Chains A and B, each alone.
Chain A
C-alpha cells in the first residue's frame, strides 16, 4: 500500500494499492486506466496555485496537481483517453462564521471537476461534501475505490 500524504501524489501499477488518509475539506482524486492497470492519486488542499504565496509544491493545488498526476501516469504507460476519475472528500467539517472560510471543501470539489473536464477525464464515481472525513483506497487491480469513514461505514465505488 502506497500512502499519499497531504498535498502529495503518487502513481502505481497493478496490483499495488494507493491510499490517502483523513480527507476533510481536501479532495482525493484517483485516476485509473483499466487497459494498462496504471493508477494515480493526488490529495489536493486548494483549488488553484494562482493566488498561492508559495508555489513549490504543485500537488497542493487542483489546477496543477491533477494535470501533473495525469502526465506522471502517461510516463508509466497509461493512456489519457482511457483514464477515468473517482473523487472523494471536500467536506465541510465545521460551520465557521467567517465568510472567507466558507465552503473550501465545495470550492475544492468544483475546481477538481472543472480541471477533469478540461482534461476530458470522465468522473465515474463521486463521494463528496457532507460533514465527515474520508480515507480512500484505490486498488489498481480493478480500479475500485474504497471510501472509509469514522461513523458512516465503508463504500466501494
Chain B
C-alpha cells in the first residue's frame, strides 16, 4: 500500500471527488432516462472514516433501509452500495409503476429497487473506468431490507482485514422534487485505492 487513505493531499481529495462527481452524474442521467423523470443530485461528499465508524456516518446502524450491494472487480476491488429509506423506496417504486400503495417487500418492488441500484452502479462504474482508463466490472446486485449496520457489516469486516480507514462517497439525489434519503457508498480496498490514486496523480 503506497498511499495512506487517512493522509491524502488536498489535490488528491478534490480529484477523487471530481471522479465521483462525474460517475454519479452519469448514473443519475441513466436513472432519469429509465424512469423518464427529472433526477437531480447533490455534489458527492467524500469522507475518510475509520471502518468501525462507517455505519454511524452512513446514517446510523439501526436505521432501516433497502440496501443494494454489488461487488466491484477487475483492476480495482471493492463494493458499491446503495441504501435508501423506506419512504424513498416508495417514491421510486410509485414513480416507476404508477401505483400509489406500495408494498416494499413485494418481489416486484424488491427487484425494481435492485435494478435501480444496478443501473446507478453500472453507469457510475463505467464512467469511472472510462475516466481512469481502468477495467472495472460489477457483480449482479443483492438486495435486502434491514438495518443499515447489519447490511454492511459483512463488507466492513472484509475491508477491516486490509485497512483501518475507508473512503466513502456519500451523495443525495432528488426525483422530481422528492428528496431521496439515500446514500450511495463506494468502498475500495487499499490496493485498489493505490491504483485509482496513481491514475489520478498521472492526470494532475
Please give the distance in Å from A149's CB to the nearest CB on chain B.
8
Chain B residue with the shortest CB-CB distance to A94: B142
Closest 7 CB pairs of A and B: A22-B149, A133-B150, A24-B150, A22-B61, A21-B61, A22-B147, A133-B147
Interface string of B137-179 (1 = CB under 8 A from A): 0010010111111111110111011111000000000000000
Q: Does A104 contact B (CB under 8 A)?
A: yes
Contact B149 A52 (CB under 8 A): no
Contact B150 A23 (CB under 8 A): yes
Q: Does B55 contact A (CB under 8 A)?
A: yes
Report B's interface with A, CB cutoff 8 A. 52-56, 60-64, 69, 71, 105, 139, 142, 144-154, 156-158, 160-164
Contact A133 B160 (CB under 8 A): no
Decide: A91 near B52, CB < 8 A? Known: A45-B156, A53-B162, A104-B157: no
Of B61, B69, B163, the residue contacting A94 (CB under 8 A) is B69
Contact B144 A94 (CB under 8 A): yes
Interface string of A114-143 (1 = CB under 8 A from B): 000000000000000001111100000000
Please give the distance in Å from B133's CB to the nearest CB on chain A.
26
Decide: A21 near B52, CB < 8 A? Known: A45-B153, A53-B162: no
Q: In the complex, which residues of chain A have a beta carbon less than 8 angstroms from the beta carbon of B150?
A: 22-24, 91, 93, 132-134
Contact A7 B153 (CB under 8 A): no
Contact B149 A25 (CB under 8 A): no
The interface centre, meaning the residue of B54, B139, B145, B153 with most chain A CB atoms within 10 A of its CB, is B153
Of B53, B139, B146, the residue contacting A93 (CB under 8 A) is B146
Of B55, B148, B154, the residue contacting A101 (CB under 8 A) is B154
Q: For the complex, what is the distance from the CA of A25 to the CA of B69, rounded to whole Å? A: 15
Of A53, A134, A135, the residue contacting B161 (CB under 8 A) is A53
Q: In the complex, which residues of chain B have a beta carbon less than 8 angstroms from the beta carbon of A150?
A: 64, 145-147
Chain A residue with the shortest CB-CB distance to B164: A54
Contact A5 B145 (CB under 8 A): no
Please provide the chain A residues from 20 to 74 with a CB less than 8 Å away from any CB of chain B in the complex.
21-26, 45-46, 51-54, 56-57, 60
Contact B153 A6 (CB under 8 A): yes
Contact B157 A46 (CB under 8 A): yes
Chain B residue with the shortest CB-CB distance to A97: B139
Contact B157 A25 (CB under 8 A): yes
Contact A24 B158 (CB under 8 A): no
Decide: A23 near B153, CB < 8 A? Known: A93-B146, A94-B144, A150-B147: yes
Contact A22 B153 (CB under 8 A): yes
Please give the distance in Å from B31's CB to the nearest CB on chain A.
23
Contact A60 B52 (CB under 8 A): yes
Please give the distance in Å from B84's CB to the nearest CB on chain A.
14
Chain A residue with the shortest CB-CB distance to B145: A150
Please give the distance in Å from B103's CB to the nearest CB on chain A.
13
Contact A132 B142 (CB under 8 A): no
Contact A21 B149 (CB under 8 A): yes
Q: For the complex, what is the distance from the CA of A154 to the CA of B125, rounded to whole Å? A: 39
Q: In the complex, which residues of chain B have a beta carbon less than 8 angstroms from the beta carbon of A53?
A: 161-163
Q: For the complex, what is the distance from the CA of A57 to the CA of B56, rounded to whole Å? A: 18
Residue contacts A-B, CB under 8 angstroms, 13 given: A21-B55, A21-B147, A22-B60, A23-B153, A24-B151, A25-B153, A46-B161, A52-B161, A57-B52, A132-B150, A133-B151, A149-B146, A150-B147
